[in-house]
Amino acid sequence: MSTEKSLNFLEEIVKEDVTSGKHGGRLLTRFPPEPNGYLHIGHSKSICLNFGLAQQFGGQTNLRFDDTNPVTEDTEYVDSIMEDIAWLGFKWANVFYASDYFDQLYNFAVKLIEQGLAYVDDSSAEEIAALKGTPTEPGKDSPFRSRSIEENLSLFTRMRNGEFKDGEKVLRAKIDMASPNMHLRDPLMYRIKHAHHHRTGDKWCIYPMYDFAHGQSDAIENITHSICTLEFEVHRPLYEWFIKKLDLYPSRQYEFARLNLNYTVMSKRKLLQLVNEKHVTGWDDPRMPTISGLRRRGYTPESIRAFAEKVGVSRRDNIIDVGLLEFCIREDLNKNSLRAMVVMDPLKLIITNYEEGKTEILKGENNPEDEQSGTRDIPFSRELFIEHEDFKEVAEKKYFRLAPGLMVRLKSAYIIRCDSFVNDESGNIIEVHCTYFPESRSGSDTSGLQAKGVIHWVEANTAIPVEVRLYDRLFGVEDPSSEEGDFKSYLNPHSLDMKSKALGEPSLKKAAVGDKFQFLRKGYFCVDRDSVGGKLIFNRTVPLKDSWAKEQKK
């Protein structure tokens, strides 16, 4: 209806708050990852949302590491997270850590104890769970719930001083064991962990729980809009309870539906398993849905941002078709990548009427979508290699590639006609013989001939050997997590297909790690960092759409 782009529900809330001057017109969001794994495509939605919203409405965004659990967290993850966010193109106003607030958080806890709103519980984890009730049954009070303020204060101090072992005591908020909201049934605030923290070292042996750290961290930073995923919705009453009892800045939490992609998994726990059990080569394996994996695969920040924009924001569960992600990267790379020719499965082709020993230099368009991109030199001679699948002994209907008697155009070169082919002892085709038409040279074609098909090729003497890694979806089913049994049993055994005998045109020699190309008729590829010792290795980012392959499947 309207020509204006409609706003998603978060944009509407923020716009309303900013224009009404709710926080003095101020807007501050935050992105709060836990440094216990690498960021994935789902996080990129959250990143684009938090940073994008701030950008759009004149605010800022803090990066805050939610590092309240020293046993799972590591600086390796901190570094990768910062790298990924910067790579995506976003700038944070500040980098903070929840651990920056450990002293304040401790004082908040003391304050609640003094108000009679928190107590030290000697129960074991099992005992606490047993008294917690279930979502449909109320819980029961802990026998330690009515300790005096003085005793709680003393015990909590002793917890901090390291007088107790892990698990011996916890600090709990005193709220309501019968609350229909499980999170309000005297939630844990602090637990004892004699563990080394990646930032605070051995200063602490008690660490705040997420619920006791997150909301207050937002409040300490004066975050105006605390945006997170739907599973934290039931935490919001607790978040607000702490803010109210501690009289802190009233940050408000808003929840949106997390991104799900089909044919992959998105939980850090599962991704970590794939890494640890070597189903992939690492967090940045090009098949991983991690940001570092997508980067190595050849995805651009622009394409991921476009994807985040296209999937939209709402509060209902969703599973996005990975085809949309592929559309976004094709759209970007079609406009922006240089073209080159690479033959994956080489088949020798001899042009019998072409002078032996002669080489001529032809011109190839670098990018037909970009007039400024110019041309490159491509050598041509009597001996070439073409794609094995571009030749057939017997042409079927609608087939317009090479077959005896058929003509095709060699891209950027001449039209040729296939005259014969050579088999080896076992019947494999090892050579194709053709005649070329000298007047059909690309750009100055006066032959009047018409070839329906166009195929790519490389010149035999100048082609460079390259390795090409063809990737397919990591899993064979749309939603591995919802299938019976172990999700790993649904891994796609063909998710990586190595073409180690591929040949590339000589212009590729100067390609550097990360450079992106469209290999004509094949797909988009980028140079992998494994390229060493002069041999180039290319990752296939995504294949070109292939309506011929589709036709053949029918």
Partner RNA sequence: UGUCCGAUGGUGUAAUGGCAACACUGCAGAUUUUGAUUCUGCCUUUCCAGGUUCGAAUCCUGGUCGGACAACCA
Site for RNA in 471-530 (CB under 7 A): 518, 520-521
Q: How many CB atoms lie within 10 A of CB 120?
A: 22
C-beta of 311 vs 537, nearer to RNA: 311
Looking at residues 14 to 73 of the shown chain, list those that interact with RNA (rule: CB under 7 A): 32, 34, 36, 66, 68-69, 72
Measured CA to CA, the distance from residue 304 to residue 42 in angstroms comes to 11
To RNA, the closest distance from the beta carbon of 248 in angstroms equals 18
To RNA, the closest distance from the beta carbon of 296 in angstroms equals 23
To RNA, the closest distance from the beta carbon of 133 in angstroms equals 7
To RNA, the closest distance from the beta carbon of 178 in angstroms equals 10
Is residue 355 among the annotated active site residues?
no
Which residue of the set 199, 258, 270, 392 is catalytic?
Answer: 258
298, 300, 301, 305 alpha-carbon torsion, rounded to 10°: -110
Looking at residues 400 to 429 of the shown chain, list those that interact with RNA (rule: CB under 7 A): 400-401, 409, 411-413
Q: Report if residue 136 touches RNA, rule: CB under 7 A.
A: yes
Looking at residues 260 to 299 of the shown chain, list those that interact with RNA (rule: CB under 7 A): none
CB < 8 Å & 24+ apart, contacts of 367-371: 367/336, 367/337, 367/338, 367/339, 367/518, 368/339, 369/334, 369/335, 370/335, 370/336
Which residue of the set 64, 147, 185, 268 is catalytic?
Answer: 268
Interface characters, 64-103, with RNA (x: CB under 7 A) = --x-xx--x-------------------------------
Looking at residues 207 to 226 of the shown chain, list those that interact with RNA (rule: CB under 7 A): 207, 209-211, 214
Measured CA to CA, the distance from residue 214 to residue 66 in angstroms comes to 7
To RNA, the closest distance from the beta carbon of 167 in angstroms equals 4
**Residue corresponding to tokens 């019968």:** 178
Tokens of 385: 């290699």
Is residue 158 among the annotated active site residues?
no
To RNA, the closest distance from the beta carbon of 286 in angstroms equals 21
Looking at residues 169 to 208 of the shown chain, list those that interact with RNA (rule: CB under 7 A): 169-170, 180-183, 188, 191-193, 207
For RNA, which residue of 9, 143, 148, 428 counts as binding (CB under 7 A)? Answer: 9
For RNA, which residue of 128, 266, 460, 477 counts as binding (CB under 7 A)? Answer: 128
Q: Tell me, what amino acid is at 525?
A: F
Q: Report if residue 465 touches RNA, rule: CB under 7 A.
A: no
C-beta of 154 vs 262, nearer to RNA: 262
For RNA, which residue of 240, 445, 479, 530 counts as binding (CB under 7 A)? Answer: 445
Is residue 268 among the annotated active site residues?
yes
Q: Report if residue 311 touches RNA, rule: CB under 7 A.
A: yes
Measured CA to CA, the distance from residue 424 to residue 214 in angstroms comes to 70
Pairing of strands 415-423, 457-459: unpaired
SS (H, E, C) 419-475: EEEEECCCCCEEEEEEEECHHHCCCCCCCCCCCCEEECEEECCCCEEEEEEEECCCE
Provide CB contacts within 8 A for 235, sequence distance 6+. 183, 211, 214, 253
Residue range at the interface with RNA (CB under 7 A); choices 109-117, 325-333, 459-467, 491-499: 325-333
- Phi/psi at 173 (nearest 5 deg)? -80, 140
For RNA, which residue of 142, 264, 440, 541 counts as binding (CB under 7 A)? Answer: 440
Residues comprising the chain, all counted? 554
Provide CB contacts within 8 A for 448, sequence distance 6+. none
Measured CA to CA, the distance from residue 374 to residue 381 in angstroms comes to 23
Using CA of residue 155, residue 160, residue 163, residue 169, what is the dihedral sign?
positive
Q: Report if residue 134 touches RNA, rule: CB under 7 A.
A: yes
Q: Report if residue 254 touches RNA, rule: CB under 7 A.
A: no
For RNA, which residue of 141, 240, 369, 530 counts as binding (CB under 7 A)? Answer: 369
To RNA, the closest distance from the beta carbon of 90 in angstroms equals 19
- Phi/psi at 54 (nearest 5 deg)? -65, -45
Give catalytic residue positions.
34, 258, 268
